[in-house]
Structure 1
Amino acid sequence: MATLEFWYEFASTYSYLTVMRIEEQAQAAGVEIEWRPFLLGPIFKSQGWDTSPFNLFPAKGRYMVRDIERIAAARGLPFRMPPTFPVNGLNAARLALLGVSAGWCPAFTRSVFAAQFQRGEDISQPEVLVGILAELGVDPAQATAAACSNANKQALRLQTEIAMQRGIFGAPSFITSDGELFWGDDRLEQALAWARR
């Protein structure tokens, strides 16, 4: 079966749009998704940025919010810009990475994005993530401890380093088995079609 790596960052508005549709699109295309949570912060810092480009360039930020509103409305998705942007998604990313091997990464990821961009919740707060884990039937204490282990922390650092080495500069990004890189929610269909080649 064809595979497609899906690289996403929890602070990314456009990743929200992709997370909410990628499984259905991939199933229809006959492509298996490999979930790859990572952190954009270190990548931005390597480019000399200390925050999101949507904050560095206010006109771009205003456009992004309106763009997401239009796309979400067309897809029947709720969208609410959280009060703090970008939010610190470090702990969410650590948990999602843990969930990849445990099998609950996709459901956890969808729930975290819904909490942030549908209900405006602060996903940097432990109680938000604990609530999501509990709803999914995952032991919050056990998962949180495992996510904060040195091994898992190092795994997330490595994941982000791999993203940089492979040329990823934004989220969402998709990489096919032959190394082709696609960037942006609007490239999902093209990435899926390439993966099937």
Structure 2
Amino acid sequence: MTAKPTLEFWYEFASTYSYLAAMRIGALAEEAGVALLWRPFLLGPIFVQQGWNTSPFNLYPAKGRHMWRDMERETEALGLPLRRPAPFPQNSLFAARIALLGQENWGPAFTRALFRAEFGEGRSIAEPEVMRAALEEAGQDADAVFAQAQAEEAKAGLRAQNEAAVARGIFGAPSFVAADGELFWGNDRLERALAWAQSLAGRSSASIR
């Protein structure tokens, strides 16, 4: 049996376009026959390396205004709710640790639930009750997961995850990385990334023959 091609999905909970990608990537990947590797990470440390102390959508107001108008169009087209959370960007540190614990198990369900709370309902993802509700929706014991996420192992795991993101050349979210290291950036490149992952599997099969 031939293994499915894989695609890494790198996302940041504070990222508006990661919200769009997270809500549609599952069905698209299944249709394409591509196995997803969910990779939560933090953009903050990467932005600091670029000399930014906040989101570029805050640093450049015209860009920010365009982004929110674009989000209105895109969420309407996808049938998704949109409500701006305050503050923006949100503090996503603890949420990223939790999602990393879930990975491809319950992590995707938690991720979608938390994105809906943040950008669909405008809630703060730094609030324990918001993360708790998302964990319960994903079928998890929130107290047990919170304890795990506060442990040193979880903190070290997220640091390592961010180091891996930097090693792949990731500078924004969402980003998609194929098995050969090809990097695609942005929600509007999701379909192209899936097609690239498919093509790698085709090339591998051809080389075997």
- TM-score range (shorter-chain normalised) is over 0.9
Q: What is the match of residue 172 of structure 1?
A: 174
SS in 2 for 1:6: strand
- From 141, 144, 149, give the equivalent of 1:142: 144
Does 2:160 correspond to 1:158?
yes
Q: What is the match of residue 23 of structure 2?
A: 20
CA distance in 2 between counterparts of 1:173 and 1:154 reads 22
CA distance in 2 between counterparts of 1:21 and 1:27 reads 11
SS in 1 for 2:148: helix
SS in 1 for 2:84: coil
CA distance in 2 between counterparts of 1:35 and 1:142 reads 21
Q: What is the match of residue 92 of structure 1?
A: 95
Q: What is the match of residue 86 of structure 2?
A: 83
Give 1:23's aligned amino acid: G
TM-score (norm 2): 0.92
CA distance in 2 between counterparts of 1:36 and 1:134 reads 21
SS in 2 for 1:114: helix
SS in 1 for 2:90: coil
TM-score (norm 1): 0.98
How big is each residue's C-alpha offset from its partner over 1:116-147, in whole Å with a ceiling of 9 and x where there is no partner? 00000000111111122123321111100111
Give 2:35's aligned amino acid: E
Task: Determine what percentage of the aligned residue pairs are the same residue.
Answer: 61
SS in 2 for 1:138: coil
SS in 1 for 2:14: coil
How big is each residue's C-alpha offset from its partner over 1:156-183, in whole Å with a ceiling of 9 and x where there is no partner? 0110111112110000000000000000
Structure 2 counterparts to residues 1-197 of structure 1, below 5 A: 1-100=4-103, 103-197=105-199
SS in 2 for 1:65: helix
Structure 1, unmatched stretches of 5+, are none
2:95/2:131 contact within 8 Å kept: yes
Structure 2, unmatched stretches of 5+, are 200-209
Give 2:62's aligned amino acid: A
CA distance in 1 between counterparts of 2:75 and 2:188 reads 13
SS in 1 for 2:38: strand
Q: What is the match of residue 207 of structure 2?
A: none
Name the larger-Rg structure: 2
Aligned residues: 196
